[in-house]
Chain A
Amino acid sequence: MKNRIIALGATLGVAASLFAATLSVAQDTGTETSAPLKPAAEFQSITDAKQRSWALFEEAGKVIQHPRCVNCHPATDRPLQTMAMHKHQPPVTRGDGGMGMPGMTCNTCHGQANVEVIGQAETLKSIPGHPSWHLAPIEMAWEGKSLGDICRQIKDPERNGGKTLAEITEHMAHDSLVGWGWQPGAGREPVPGSQAVFGELIAAWVESGAACE
């Protein structure tokens, strides 16, 4: 699923490869409804605490590794876009505090709330928005990382903004920018489940020892 730009130059199969895909930032097609997310209670049957803990985090990982979340936890200074996770267009850059560069800060386009695009391209139904729209700091990058690596990173105060596990739980369960993932606006697939179920999974993961493998 990783974005890649290829230079076409093959002498054979021209017609076959030529028109394969030229979309750049067209929004997701298909579903605008959340995929299911299992509640924490369904994991009670796993008796081994460590196994249960990791299973809980793997379930939560369906949210964490969803493009909706990873797109703003990029590994470079360029955020990503769409389910295809291609680089953001226009080409914006992290800037101070992940708020973009002077002259084109995030809020040049991203307002206090999602904005429906009316009467323009049907492949661009809305512009996302939130009062504190910004990129996650580079030490919190998730792009390209395994779920285990992301898990260890989330637990590491050096790389999680100095948070305790309790604070992590609170952040995941109640932060409204995290919550945007479930209300991403028209034309965007939300992350699975609900923030409440996700918050419970994280809480149960912490309670069960916060295993990362």
Chain B
Amino acid sequence: MVTFTLNGKERSFDGDPDTPLLWVIRDFEKLTGTKYGCGVAQCGACTVHLDGMTRRSCITPISTVDGSEVITIEGIEGPEAKAVQAAWVAIDVPQCGYCQSGQIMSAVALLQVTPKPSDADIDGAMAGNLCRCATYHRIRQAIHNAADAMEG
């Protein structure tokens, strides 16, 4: 039995301990904002925050999550999350939208540590998140805009 908190609520799981966190979140907890894109940590669509750090949930066995705090797109809060989501909406970043939960989770984590990121900082945080629609141009702009907005 594995216990952890998911968006602040205590949860437990007693299935196959190798089950990736991604599938626990999606199949068992039925939170579907976290997406499957590759299953091998190459695309970032499954990004969550695990104990405050970005984590690719597709390669995270649930057995390693015991006692941890997991935050998904449905539970992301705070000034960085608000600023990032507002910036995303303001310039219509998403196209198909499938990767955007992961993009936003990475962008929020970036701003939590680096409030005023450079382009290189953005590459450093975001290069693990694929977008096949190639909305990268707007992702970059939205992160800068979110940083500016937080600075007030």
A and B touch in the complex (CB under 8 A): yes
- Contact indicator A104/B126 (Cβ below 8 Å): yes
Chain A-chain B contacts (Cβ-Cβ < 8 Å), number: 82
- Contact indicator A103/B59 (Cβ below 8 Å): no
Which B residues touch A121, using CB under 8 A? Answer: 39-40
- Contact indicator B126/A102 (Cβ below 8 Å): no
- Interface size of A by CB at 8 A reads 28
Stretch at the interface among B69-77, B87-95, B107-115: B107-115
Main secondary structure of the interface of B (DSSP, over half): mixed
- Contact indicator A103/B106 (Cβ below 8 Å): yes
- Contact indicator A118/B18 (Cβ below 8 Å): yes
How many of chain B's residues touch chain A, expressed as a range?
20 to 34
**Chain A 63-108 residues near chain B, CB threshold 8 A:** 89-93, 95, 100-105, 107-108
- Contact indicator A112/B64 (Cβ below 8 Å): yes
What is the CB-to-nearest-CB distance from B56 to chain A, in angstroms, rounded to a whole number?
5
- Contact indicator A109/B59 (Cβ below 8 Å): yes
Known: A102-B113, A104-B106, A109-B59. A90 touches B40 (CB 8 A): no
B residues with a Cβ closer than 8 A to A are: 18, 38-42, 44, 47, 53-56, 59-61, 64, 106-107, 109-110, 112-114, 121, 123-128
A residues with a Cβ closer than 8 A to B are: 25, 89-93, 95, 100-105, 107-109, 111-113, 115-121, 124, 127
Q: Sort A-B residue pairs by CB-CB distance and give the 3 closest, nearest first.
A: A103-B125, A101-B124, A103-B110
